[in-house]
Amino acid sequence: MKLLTSPAPHIRTADSTADVMLDVLIALSPAVAAATYFFGLQAFILSIAGMISAELIEFFIMRVLRKDKNFVPNGSAAVTGLLLALNVSVATPWWVLLIGVLFAIAIVKHAFGGLGQNIFNPALAARIFLLVSFPTAMTTWYPPIGKFFGTYADIQTTATPLAVLKLEGFNSAMQKFTYTDLLFGNIGGCIGETSALLLIIGFLYLVLRGRIKIVIPATYLGTVFAISSIMYLVNPEKFGTPLFHLLAGGMMLGALFMATDMVTSPMTLKGQAIFGVGCGLITMLIRYFGGYPEGVSLSILLMNAFVPIIDRYTQPKIFGRRKS
């Protein structure tokens, strides 16, 4: 009988990093389903392609470049790949998505040390990278065609609700889109930014599984609600309603799935609150006064950069020590 002496504790939860990642993928699946329903098979193909290419690139980096013979895929790359796919237009060429995935995994994630070491959310950083590199592809939106095998070659492009708000005002936006459209996803936009409702359902799954830093979406959405309420009172036509801001654009995808990325968000509850408020504040500043109609991605990336300093200044009070 061989006696084993690995360190205490000798029992562990059966949980693993792969389980965490699998839960995130499960939580995103309703949004993928909605995207497939509204935008057709192409949306589904891009989602799957994002996941598979991300895992393959990571596998190559770990096994070949970083010479880790024991590396086993854990699903974290797939999460990044899927999130990036959900962040592009359905008409995005496959090779543009591939470049984005390569940037996310190789540069944003592995150049910073790999799993758990990256400062910035890889999917968001890659989205911004693509936005700068392929501005046309990344800002050309199509309306949902509702046809499974449909192509977009002869479909008229459309504007996103936020772009309409910015260029034409709130009344015009409300003539083109109803709140119901926003809630269910019957709008033009990124693949995954369409149905707020299905994103919320996926989010609730993560809450149930204890997989989410719940303070972040609470404070993020709370801040957006508070600011947009005030601005609505100032000028409803120019700034739109709070509900509109909560449902439109990447708000739900960003607040529920991007800002809550474990690796790139703060570790303490207080830190998560600061992070959430910061995201909300910057998002609304960009939406109201920035050059882009949408500010979710940039705001989260900016706050990512503050995470180390937030962690540093929100350390919990140690048992038995006075508040310092």
Under the rule (CB under 8 A), what is the footprint of other proteins? 1-13, 15-20, 72, 74, 76, 114-117, 211, 213, 262-265, 267-268, 315-321
How far the first Cα of the chain sits from its last, in Å, is 52
Residues with Cβ within 8 Å of 317's Cβ and at least 6 positions away in sequence, in order, are 323, 324
Which own/partner contact pairs does 314-322 have at CB distance under 8 Å and 24+ positions apart? 314/266, 314/268, 314/270, 314/271, 314/274, 315/268, 316/268, 316/270
Alpha-carbon span 324 to 313, nearest angstrom: 11
Nearest approach in angstroms of CB 267 to other proteins is 5
Query: Which of residues 49 and 214 has its CB atom nearest to other proteins in the complex?
Result: 214
Q: What angle do CA 26, 32, 33 make, to 5 degrees?
A: 100
The b/e string for 259-285 (b: 16+ C-beta within 10 A; e otherwise) is bbbebbbbebeebbbbbbbbbbbbbbe
Residues with Cβ within 8 Å of 163's Cβ and at least 6 positions away in sequence, in order, are 293
Alpha-carbon span 7 to 240, nearest angstrom: 58
Query: Which of residues 7 and 291 has its CB atom nearest to other proteins in the complex?
Result: 7
| Structural tokens at position 42 | 């192409």
Alpha-carbon span 248 to 173, nearest angstrom: 11
Residues with Cβ within 8 Å of 48's Cβ and at least 6 positions away in sequence, in order, are none
